[in-house]
Amino acid sequence: MKRITLTCYSILFLAPLVHAELAVVENFAQLNDGVPSHRAIHADLSIPLDETWLLPVRSSQLSPGQVASRRLEMPGLKPFFLVGDDPQSLDWLRQRAAELQAMGAVGLAVEVADIDGLSRIRAAAPGLNILPVNGNDIAIRLQIEHYPFLVTATSLEQ
């Protein structure tokens, strides 16, 4: 038991010192010169992705509506918000865009039909990162049925 505890503490102590890096490993049998190649190629994540293949996004556990605010205790959680391409979400985004940007919140578009809908969402809050994502898991974990809402380390609010 002491060995397991010591191992766990060692891992927790060393974890912040580890530097993760995304790499795609290439393993071709032969290149043009006939020599096997085993080399890492670093992915360039600065190139915008074609998001059309992600759409439409439907979150069956969520719909537009009123959300009751409540306290949360999630130390270290980065702020994020859930929206859709409905009028209520777009109005909410326009009203709170400056506040969301100031806190560095990331947006999740949990109900969006097409690229035009995603563009409308992003236009309502320029400068914010908003990604199309199914929100069912978040809805279940936070026991929430409606959006738009903001989650911070200390609260869930509309």
Residue pLDDT, tens place only, 55-84? 999 999 999 999 999 999 999 999 999 999
Statement: residue 6 has pLDDT above 80: no
- Looking only at the bridges linking them, the beta strands covering 155-157 and 149-151 are antiparallel
CATH number listed for the domain at residues 51-157: 3.40.30
- Measured CA to CA in angstroms, residue 14 lies from 5, 6, 133, 151 at distances of 14, 12, 32, 29
- Average pLDDT of the residues in 8-16: 46
Confidence of residue 53 (pLDDT cuts 50, 70, 90): confident
- Average pLDDT of the residues in 90-119: 97
Taking each helix axis as running N to C, give the angle between helix 115-124 and helix 87-102, from 0 to 180 degrees, rounded to the nearest 10.
50
The pLDDT of residue 52:
85
- Average pLDDT of the residues in 14-19: 46
3-class DSSP assignment, residue 103 = coil
Q: In degrees rounded to 5, what are phi and psi of residue 4? A: -65, -45
List the domain boundaries for the chain: 2-41, 51-157
Q: State the pTM of this model.
A: 0.69
Confidence of residue 20 (pLDDT cuts 50, 70, 90): very low
The pLDDT of residue 132:
96
Statement: residue 44 has pLDDT above 90: no
The pLDDT of residue 5:
47
